[in-house]
A = this chain, B = another copy of it.
Amino acid sequence: MDTFELHKRNTGMLSIVPTAKIETREDLTLVYTPEVGKICMAIKDNPELLSAYTIAGKTVAVISNGTAVLGFGNIGPKAALPVMEGKAVIFKEFAGIDAYPICISETDTEKFIAIVKSIALNFAGINLEDIAAPACFEIEQRLSDELPIPVIHDDQHGTAIVTLAALFGALTVTKKERINVAISGAGAAGVAIMNLLLAARDDGLLPLNELRVFDSKGLVALERTDLTGIKQDIATKTKQAKALTFAAGIEGMDVFIGVSAPGILTVDHVRSMNAQPIVFALANPVPEILPDLALQAGAAIVATGRSDFPNQINNALVYPGLFKGLLENNIKKVEMHHKLVVAKAITAYQPAMVTATNLLPSILDKNIPLLIAKMLREVSS
């Protein structure tokens, strides 16, 4: 079956079904008037009961405005809906979580935040998706601060977490003990990866020596006069003072993490890296370098975002378990240590199975969400 046929067959990928049958008049009165009025008044008197007696206690909203969909960019909220449906399917299939997609026709940051806040009461958590940088940073921060439920922009943190887990695997394989890392891309994913790698270093989990973040103009460094506030912050956090071209800056790196654009990384670049280079070329659908080329140039390990090459780095390995853990353990705000635990959980699952072409467990393995939720329980109790 092709994807068009599959999506058309039942008009989209989701169906809404009652959790109880209505066969008698009594069934009807329990679900609807007059008996449902008792639930309404109980919630009015004690709003905390909302999560016990309604779907607001279990449902994750998958919310987008369609400004940065997959690798397509700003294709709008209608064209984004199929991706959100797909995420909701994965939530249910892999973690048993009810998730509902809501695409919002609004690109203004303040208005978008207000709309999400006005409908947040219906949900136990919010997965923001495919929202362009830099708006995504403020949207996530504000919603996370102002709502009493967990809010995560998956393009940032899901990607960062699964990348860190893959990097843990790559270090085991290559036995590297001190790494210089280059991140290509200073958007939503690049910034989140930077922050998570620095936090992992500070926690003693990652032997990170130097970290360099590149945008389309080269190394993000304090010397540059064209930096936005976010990029100044990147330069400060990575302690990069002096501007460099990408070609100069990639020299002597151990790890390349690309969340940028097709073809950024050449064979010569890979050859200029330290011995046994690790290449994560995550641009979708066309990576920063094709795996064959990277291997030819001497890469010890190559990963992409694609399912048709070995080592797919995809946040579908993260978000079902992450939300399962958040909901089950009543975690209302996602902190850095939660993200590190999720990466550790993925790494801890089957360490003996890790090889150069098998850095990560299978996305299809339903034990992963269970283990992530379990390890989140241990740090949250």
Q: Which residues of A contact B (CB under 8 A)?
A: 1-4, 6-25, 28-44, 47, 50-59, 69-72, 75-83, 85-90, 92-94, 98-106, 111, 115, 117-122, 284-285, 305-307, 314, 316, 363-364
A334 to chain B, nearest CB (A): 21
Task: Kindly identify which residue among B17, B47, B78, B117 contacts A78, using a CB–CB cutoff of 8 Å.
Answer: B47
Looking at the complex, which one of B11, B71, B72, B92 makes contact with A54 (CB distance below 8 Å)?
B11
Chain B contacts of A3 at CB under 8 A? 30-31, 35-36, 38-39
A89 neighbours in B (Cβ, 8 Å): 18, 20, 22, 31-32
Contact partner of A307 (CB less than 8 A), chosen from B18, B25, B52, B101, is B25
Report how far A3 CA is from B21 CA in the complex, Å. Answer: 13
Question: A20 CA to B306 CA in the complex, in Å?
Answer: 22
Please tell me if the beta carbons of B79 and A44 are within 8 angstroms of each other in the complex. yes
Residues of B within 8 A of A316 (CB): 28, 32
Complex Cα distance, B42 from A20, in Å, reads: 37
From the candidates B14, B69, B78, name the one contacting A18 in the complex (CB within 8 A): B14
**Assembly CA distance A81 to B54 (angstroms):** 7
Give the CA-CA distance A85 to B57 in the complex, in Å: 13
Cβ of A4: which chain B residues have Cβ within 8 Å of it?
38-39, 42, 53
Q: Are B82 and A54 within 8 A (Cβ)?
A: yes
The answer to whether B6 and A13 have CB atoms under 8 Å apart is: no
Cβ B11 vs Cβ A52 within 8 A = yes
A215 to B206 alpha-carbon distance, docked (Å): 73
The smallest beta-carbon distance between A314 and chain B, in angstroms, is: 7
- Within the complex, the shortest CB–CB distance from A137 to chain B, in Å, comes to 21
CA A306 to CA B82, docked complex, whole Å: 42
Cβ-defined contact, B81 with A11, below 8 A: no
Q: Is the CB of B53 within 8 A of A7?
A: yes
